[in-house]
Structure 1
Amino acid sequence: MPISREYARSLFADLTQNAPVPLDPDELLHMPRLRQHGHVFFGDIAVRCYKHKARWTYDERDIRAAGRAFADMEVDLDDVVDVQLPAYRDLPERDPEEWHRPNWRRQLVSWMFARAQNQLLEQGRSYDAWGSWRNIGANGLPGELTWEEFVASSSKARHLQNIAGTRPLQLLTWSGETWLLPRAYVDLLDRWERRQDELVARARLCSSCGEQGPYWGGWRTPTTSGYITRCPPCSGAAFQPYTGHLRGVQYETIRRRGTRADDYLCRLCKASQASVWDHCHEHGHVRGPLCGSCNTREGTARPYYFLQLEGGALHLLECRGCLEQRTLPRRFHLDVVRAHLEENERHGRCGKQPYVREAEHTHGVHRFQLQCSGWHATGKWTKDVTASEVATLVRAFVDAVQEGRPSPGDATEAG
């Protein structure tokens, strides 16, 4: 029997309230890695996700079975083993596919070092003073990080708490020489790594030709009945490219006519079947067919990154209203300004781009906080930008896009 995500979460929480392994039932609501393999993990138990009438659901029998398994699980908290955490490695040294593979030990290390690094940034310490931030202290943590600070920072973000739907920091202990976890829990996470690899291996195969896609699910396309894996050539053969024939048409018009978006390839990635007609919410004009992932990226991702996406800005200008008025939807305006400031503002003679964020907005003036990314502790200053200046920068950016200069930082002068 299909049940909602909310009911599944409530049922699983009730069944596992006395489980020996700390769990996060909210995983059933957030559904991490759904695109990658279509399941939610609790330890090595994979709960399959279903799409019923365009809504994600679960089978009640699966939820009850997973809940009973954890309720009956035996974990001797006194039988602990050395978890043998690996050494810290910088991101540039990692193979992209290898980094996406499940590795709970590496994930713990990543949490620790990321927090130690952020602590120094929050303290305003200069890069020269960092010195030994990677050195492990007597408490097993890097830099000057304490266990209390580490746990407190982790509690502020779900992705810094959960591994396979479990919460390892509630079981992790420091012996004075090494990190320890219950043996049964370590075995559970080791089995999770193998089980997730198995599911991803199946899900990354093109359903038409059997070709293997990227590990992180780049060929996975959302449909009304769930995800399907299809390589770009097979998608290109199955769906027609959008030619812009609906440019200037109001979205309500094609919605009333029932014009289908899933007959087309996604206009942005050009690799997946489209699922929706993307349109400008300010002018109402159709911009083109998008797959679920690209539509989510346009609607909810940070505008700065969408503007840097190949074809992203041109896609926004498929709206006739935006094009004729030389503007963009309002949610993109401040990120055009941020990119412009990053491109053109500098701390003294430092050649590095600063970090830029909006600090406040009063009486039509946006005040931006800039911080030198060259690790100069004193490199902080503000920049005020009026509403008219914002509009001028957006117009300049739109002109640059049409002239073939799509970088947000190219908005340097008005036309």
Structure 2
Amino acid sequence: MYWHACQKHQEQRHYEDWNDSWQRIGAQGLPGDLTWEEFMAAHSGRRQNIANTRPLELMTRSGGSLLLPRAYAELLDRWEQVTEDLVVQARTCSRCRAQGPRWGAWRTPSPLGYVTLCPPCSGATFQRYTGHLRGVLYESARTRSTRADGYLCRLCSEARAAAWDHCHDHGHVRGPLCGSCNTYEGKSLPPSFLTNQEGAALHLLECRGCLERRTLPARYHAALARMHVEATERHIIRSRRCKHMPWIEHVELAHGAYRFELSCWWHKATWTKDVTVAETAGLVREFVDQALAGEQAGAAVPAPRRPASDTTVQALRPPRT
């Protein structure tokens, strides 16, 4: 309902007039200006359900109220209570009985299955990694003889580690990670990992090859170039620099440069921006130097910033009107 109310709100107004009025219950008893007829028409033919039932087919309208059969309401109440009991059980630390986050962030694997351990209990149960495998190859006998699940996850410091994370470019061990953090590093979008995961850059630099070369794995190079373009690139509209961040639709490496296709939704403008491999290497090295300087100073690692040598905005195609 809220999604449809938001869509109706935005379709009837210019984007500069958008606000949060669609979130408030309106005169029809639904969010915003949404009417029951519009909502039912939008859902005709869809097979959406709650607890394997279809509530829309059971709803009736009486005046300004929506009514459900009493037996169905009781079914939903029982279903909600069972779900809540399972959530409480899954979020309760099995040792100190502390209540953790609702969505199971304290869940950790064990030889007998998943258990819930709060960060203090995990820290007391599993040892912290101190870098004793730094510089060791992942395929070495030394790594194979050392179990990762005896350590605390190096990134989140809350769950038991499940595997030795390693650099696929140089083959060196980076540290023990839990299943969630290991999957996040390997399968998430590189910009997301670099900006949302605390300590991400320093973890990647646990690879001796990356550290000595002052670089990051190759899959992060395009990400840093993209973050740089998002932060610095704007098109010109009526002799002024647009204030909106552009949308990057595509990136490819061709002829020694990363080519980004950008568009501005507000002004229907499209253009391209090239960042050469040499420029990207400079951005990567600057990011690494900032990360190492932040580690020495004990401060948070800053996000990639615009270098002093950055050029002005390229000549653009005239925006479509």
Identify the residue that residue 277 of structure 1 maps to in structure 2.
164
- CA contact under 8 A between 1:396 and 1:411: conserved in structure 2? no
The whole-number CA distance in structure 1 between the counterparts of 2:268 and 2:214 is: 35
SS of aligned partner of 2:92? coil
- CA contact under 8 A between 1:345 and 1:353: conserved in structure 2? no
Letter in 2 for 1:216: W
- CA contact under 8 A between 1:274 and 1:289: conserved in structure 2? yes
The whole-number CA distance in structure 1 between the counterparts of 2:39 and 2:152 is: 50
Residue 321, structure 1, aligned to residue 227, structure 2: no
- CA contact under 8 A between 1:278 and 1:290: conserved in structure 2? yes
Residue 129 of structure 2, aligned match among 239, 242, 249: 242
Identify the residue that residue 338 of structure 1 maps to in structure 2.
226
- CA contact under 8 A between 2:170 and 2:209: conserved in structure 1? yes
Residue 403 of structure 1, aligned match among 293, 310, 319: 293
Q: Per-residue displacement from partner, 1:348-376 (whole Å, max 9, x unpaired)?
A: 6678561542435363442232437xxxx
Letter in 2 for 1:391: A
- CA contact under 8 A between 1:205 and 1:229: conserved in structure 2? yes
Structure number with the bigger relative contact order (C-alpha 8 A, sep ≥ 6) is 1
Letter in 2 for 1:382: W
SS of aligned partner of 1:410? coil
Report the TM-score when normalising by structure 2: 0.73
Aligned length: 292
- CA contact under 8 A between 1:244 and 1:288: conserved in structure 2? yes
The CA RMSD over aligned residues, in Å, is 3.8
Identify the residue that residue 55 of structure 1 maps to in structure 2.
none
- CA contact under 8 A between 2:174 and 2:204: conserved in structure 1? yes
Identify the residue that residue 4 of structure 2 maps to in structure 1.
112
- CA contact under 8 A between 1:336 and 1:411: conserved in structure 2? no
The whole-number CA distance in structure 2 between the counterparts of 1:329 and 1:151 is: 46
Identify the residue that residue 297 of structure 2 maps to in structure 1.
none
Closer, same or farther: CA 369–326 of 1 in aligned 2, 3 Å: same
Q: Per-residue displacement from partner, 1:295-336 (whole Å, max 9, x unpaired)?
A: 122122232221122101111111122223333223323332
The whole-number CA distance in structure 1 between the counterparts of 2:6 and 2:74 is: 26
SS of aligned partner of 1:112? helix
1:260-275 to structure 2, matched below 5 A, reads 260-275=147-162
TM-aligned CA deviation for residue 116 of structure 1:
4.8
The whole-number CA distance in structure 2 between the counterparts of 1:283 and 1:190 is: 55
Closer, same or farther: CA 303–263 of 1 in aligned 2, 3 Å: same
Identify the residue that residue 299 of structure 1 maps to in structure 2.
186
Specify every segment of 5 or more residues in structure 2 that has no aligned partner in the other structure, as ranges. 295-299, 310-321
* Stretch of structure 1 that moved more, 189-198 or 231-240: 189-198
Closer, same or farther: CA 265–256 of 1 in aligned 2, 3 Å: closer
Report the TM-score when normalising by structure 1: 0.58
- CA contact under 8 A between 1:249 and 1:285: conserved in structure 2? yes
Q: Per-residue displacement from partner, 1:50-99 (whole Å, max 9, x unpaired)?
A: xxxxxxxxxxxxxxxxxxxxxxxxxxxxxxxxxxxxxxxxxxxxxxxxxx
